[in-house]
A = this chain, B = another copy of it.
Amino acid sequence: MFPKLLIANRGEIAVRIIRACRELNIRTVAVYSEADRAALHVRLAEEAYLLGPTPATESYLRIDKILAVAKQSGAPAIHPGYGFLSENAEFAAACTQAGVTFIGPPSMAIRALGSKTAGRDLARSVDVPVVPGGRADTDEEAERSAQTVGFPLFVKAVAGGGGKGMRLVERPADLPAALRTARAEAQKAFGNGSVYFEKRLLAPRHVEVQILADTHGTVLALGERDCSVQRRHQKVLEEAPAPHLDPALRARLHEAALRLARAAGYVNAGTMEFLLDQEGGYYFLEANTRLQVEHPVTELVTGLDLVQLQLRIAAGEQLTLAPGEYAPRGAALECRIYAEDPFKNFIPGPGKIIGLREPGGPGVRIDSGVYEGWTVPTAYDSLIAKVSTWGRDRSQALHRMRRALREYHIQGIPTTIPFHAQILEEPAFLAGGVDTTYLDRRFPDRPHAWSEAERAVAVVAAAVHASRRRPEPPVGPSGPAISPWVLAARQAAIRRG
């Protein structure tokens, strides 16, 4: 096993990786930008090195600087986390060239699956269905493809992920503009302006399969996750196993994921994402060649530590798990806590956390990148923590999540906790098996009180609080002028997962 590991990331995922290393007696090397001297991952690591200024392009995305720290600290391996350089084949190759082990698949596999069109071609080559679509390299090709695919369709970036360079096009008339803006956005985000088309499926479910592959030819499917609870194509809440999934379909999905991984020469942890339509059909969507944000739900039901397994695989160890050793037990949920204001169109709300009370007790897991006194910076992703619960069945996991959300108090900044609490009261979600359009249909607006009984308590509490501490929000005419402008947050995030 590696004596030392560099973690080329920040936030909760860097903390997650540090924890895995500490349990394996691996020394951890954190890297950080100027905004992150006091960040939790810097505090918890055994070593920490400054990369550079706050912008990720000058710190967390600088391959040269990260490899220099690896050399300086003598770290023989690098874990990229998710986001940043995690799916960058060039980075994986540069690590190899520098004699440093990249914790992830070989750069070849990243390339084979990182290009969405290459991934689709690979899927077809092993008889895995893909969402109907077509290439759109030139305007002429785009026009032809659009006619074949039909409207509405998605324009998507070939090099893409996380919604960048993605446009929903309802009518042929809107196509030229959508192509133009999507190409520009893709060029800016990925240095590659190529786009392609995908048919928009009607109300599909998003189900993905966790893959684990070693360097000795063993490839395992560690069960699936349902990530259909999405807000504007961003995952909000995930669960394992996928509820009400037909066992035969589940087996087909696992089998398809294994075929894809084998065809790509995949090694280490990865995820094959699928869409399920209402008629029992399934379609390969894309591969994520790295650890997922939502990996804890798989860990909770299998009892495995995916990060430790990633490290073992990268160190050349052989996977010796029998199927009975990773069969799911019970059910797990994860809520992603974002520093966003669910009462104000989910605009990001960075700022200082003045109070933090985390839930505890049975079946609750917190993966957090923040602490009381920490100021959430504006420069990075707004995902600050994840709360996951496990139960003997889905119902117990749901009830535990409800309880955990009630115990979770993040003071000083708005978070999505009340939004999650509201979802956990939704009959359709509680019944299980909602599709990816559910949340946006059900919550065009912000969360709201679902009972009137305690309004007087709220009224009095606000007055008491205002009497104690004046500034913060405006109290009547003496406060700062209220803007008459409404803010509409356009979520064009580079969030991964």
Contact = CB atoms under 8 A, between A and B. Distances in A.
Interface string A363-377: 111111001100000
A255 interface: no
Interface in A321-368: 329-330, 355, 357-358, 360-368
A22 interface: yes
Given A329-B303, A329-B329, A400-B23, A360 B371 contact: no
A303 to B, nearest CB: 6
A19 B404 CA distance: 9
Query: For this complex, into which size category does the number of interface residues on chain A fall?
Result: 35 or more
A363 B364 CA distance: 9
Given A329-B329, A396-B23, A362 B365 contact: yes
B23 A403 contact: yes
A363 B366 CA distance: 10
Given A44-B407, A365-B364, A407-B44, A23 B358 contact: no
A245 interface: no
Given A22-B403, A24-B399, A403-B23, A330 B358 contact: no
Q: Quick one: which of A296, A360, A367, A399 has the most chain B CB within 10 A?
A: A360
A252 interface: no
Contact of A305 (B24, B357, B362, B406): B362
Nearest to A302: B392
A360 B329 CA distance: 21
Nearest to A25: B399
Contacts of A15: 361
Interface in A11-53: 15-16, 19-20, 22-25, 44
A358 B19 CA distance: 14
A307 to B, nearest CB: 8
Contacts of A296: 362
Given A22-B403, A329-B329, A406-B22, A299 B362 contact: yes
A228 to B, nearest CB: 24
Interface in A260-278: none
B396 A371 contact: no
Nearest to A19: B361
Interface in A43-86: 44
Contact of A367 (B303, B360, B371, B403): B360
A361 B372 contact: no
A15 B361 CA distance: 8
Contacts of A365: 360-362, 364
A299 B390 CA distance: 12
A371 to B, nearest CB: 6
Contact of A392 (B24, B303, B399): B303
A177 B329 CA distance: 57
Given A44-B407, A303-B330, A392-B303, A23 B399 contact: yes
A19 B371 contact: no
A392 B308 CA distance: 12
A23 B389 CA distance: 12
Contact of A362 (B19, B329, B358, B407): B19
Nearest to A24: B399
A360 B402 CA distance: 19
Interface of A: 15-16, 19-20, 22-25, 44, 296, 299, 303-305, 329-330, 355, 357-358, 360-368, 371-372, 392, 396, 399-400, 402-403, 406-407
Given A44-B407, A305-B396, 20 more contacts: A19-B361, A19-B403, A22-B402, A23-B400, A23-B403, A296-B362, A299-B362, A303-B329, A304-B392, A305-B362, A305-B363, A329-B329, A355-B372, A358-B360, A361-B365, A361-B366, A361-B367, A362-B365, A364-B365, A372-B372
In the A-B complex, the 10 residue pairs with the closest CB atoms: A360-B366, A23-B399, A19-B361, A22-B403, A23-B403, A23-B400, A303-B392, A299-B362, A360-B368, A305-B362
